[in-house]
Structure 1
């Protein structure tokens, strides 16, 4: 008589990856506050905001690597990690839109936020029934978004106004940031289309199997 195979031990939510994810969520309001001090004109606090944003991006990479390497993936992490990501990028888009105050930046922000949160909520709602691997376009989108928002968080033009010799480098970097923003915007729309297309295909296939 064979002995029953013991069920795998359940991973506790109290682990390092989840702690880093929680820390990233807590960083969001501090990042938003630092970004908007003096209406976004403070060189010091814009730099502080960039440091917070950079650390949050680093913890996003680190907590995922640790969770996979040590098999510390939990339901809390699956839910909290994308929420932390979208909260940070959402705060960055809204904060930068307030600072830049242009119709095109607000348009980009609204389109991106609608896409990001609709995809996140749908992904969480179908988590147990449909498994979708992250597409390459989504990974490139995340990279382009992080670079664009990080550069735009820096007081590039403000430093140029204060320090003359940094005027041209600041303007060039600002243009690079805008180019990355456009690339991120295009990839956001395309990866969103791919996601909804793949969800529809998988749900259609599941329905076909249940009717056989």
Structure 2
């Protein structure tokens, strides 16, 4: 029997910040991990809205926004890396090409096991601007990244709780409830977490 690999893969998981995590970018944050491998991890914070609404972002890139359901939703602070760059987390969109149904529809798309995709190219915004595109989206400026072994050491320090992601928390839960909703996936409530956890 092959030896058990000690590497954990938290792709399509939430990282839930423990109360002791004092980094301002991540305090009380829920991060959706788009990718996690031995090389590191990449994710988007899903519960830190900015003051910018989607309608304003579209105006900035000279696109109309023909989706009333999206105009008023906030653009999120996805993390401290590349904060001027847009990242669109959305439900998977099936290609029109019948021969390649699994091919991403947009130019720069990462397909995430679990039915979501993350797109960084403008074509997804162009699709949304015409009233098409994915039905459910979360748009962020910036992303969160961890180098090789960095996330694992933060997990060992009890900085984060982890749980398999539920897209409903990302797309259907009011922003101010996402932290508690993510915790509830573990059967926890925020009052149960001690800020001293892991520092005994």
- What interval of TM-score do these two structures reach, taking the shorter chain for normalisation? under 0.3
Tell me the TM-score normalized by structure 2.
0.26
Question: Higher Cα Rg: structure 1 or 2?
Answer: 1
Tell me the TM-score normalized by structure 1.
0.25
With a CA cutoff of 8 Å and minimum separation of 6, indicate the structure with the bigger relative contact order: 2
Structure having the larger proportion of residues in strand: 2
